Amino acid sequence: MLFLYNTIITIADFFLKIISLFNPKIKLFVAGRKNVFETLSQKINTNDKTIWFHAASLGEYEQGLPVIEKIKEKYPSYKIILTFFSPSGYEVRKNNIVADATAYLPMDTKENAQKFLKLVHPEMAFFIKYEYWPNYLNELKKENTPTYLISGIFRENQLFFKWYGQFYRNALNTFTYFFVQNEASKKLLLQLGKTNVAVSGDTRFDRVATILEKDNTLDFISEFKNDTLTIVIGSSWPKDENLLIDYINSTTQNTKFIIAPHNIKSEQIEQLKNSISKKTVLFSEKENKNLADFDVFIIDTIGILTKIYSYADIAYVGGGFGNPGVHNILEPATFGVPIVIGPNFSHFAEATALVNLGGCISIMNANELQNTFDSLISDKITRNKKGTICRDFVKTNTGATNMILESI
pLDDT in tens, the chain (408 residues): 878 888 889 898 888 889 988 998 899 998 989 999 999 999 999 999 999 999 999 889 999 999 999 999 999 999 999 999 999 899 989 999 999 999 999 999 999 999 999 999 999 999 999 889 999 999 999 999 999 999 999 999 999 999 998 998 999 999 999 999 999 999 999 999 999 999 999 999 999 999 999 999 999 999 999 999 999 999 999 999 999 999 999 999 999 999 999 999 999 999 999 999 999 999 999 999 999 999 999 999 988 999 999 999 999 999 999 987 999 999 999 999 999 999 999 988 899 999 999 999 999 999 999 999 999 999 999 999 999 999 999 999 999 999 999 998
Q: Which structural domain, as residue segments, surrounds residue 26?
A: 13-201
125 belongs to a structural domain: yes
210 belongs to a structural domain: no
230 & 194 share domain: no
384 belongs to a structural domain: yes
Query: Closest Cα to residue 248, out of 289, 317, 297?
Result: 297
Contact between residue 67 and residue 401 where contact means Cβ atoms under 8 Å apart: yes
236 & 289 share domain: yes
Active site residue 285: no
Q: How far apart are CA 215 and CA 239, in angstroms?
A: 33
206 belongs to a structural domain: no
185 & 252 share domain: no
Catalytic one of 60, 62, 331, 350: 60
249 & 339 share domain: yes
pTM as predicted? 0.84
378 belongs to a structural domain: yes
282 belongs to a structural domain: yes
196 & 220 share domain: no
Q: How far apart are CA 243 and CA 114, in angstroms?
A: 50
Identity of the residue numbered 300: D
36 & 113 share domain: yes
Q: Which residues of 39-77 are buried (b: 16+ CB within 10 A; e: fewer)?
A: bbeebbeeeeebbbbbbbbbbbbbbbbbbbbbbbeeeee
Q: How far apart are CA 63 and CA 256, in angstroms?
A: 31
Strand 147-152 and strand 177-180: the pairing is: parallel
160 & 47 share domain: yes
230 & 355 share domain: yes
209 belongs to a structural domain: no
Q: How many domains does the chain have?
A: 2
Q: Map residue 152 onto helix, strand or coil.
A: strand
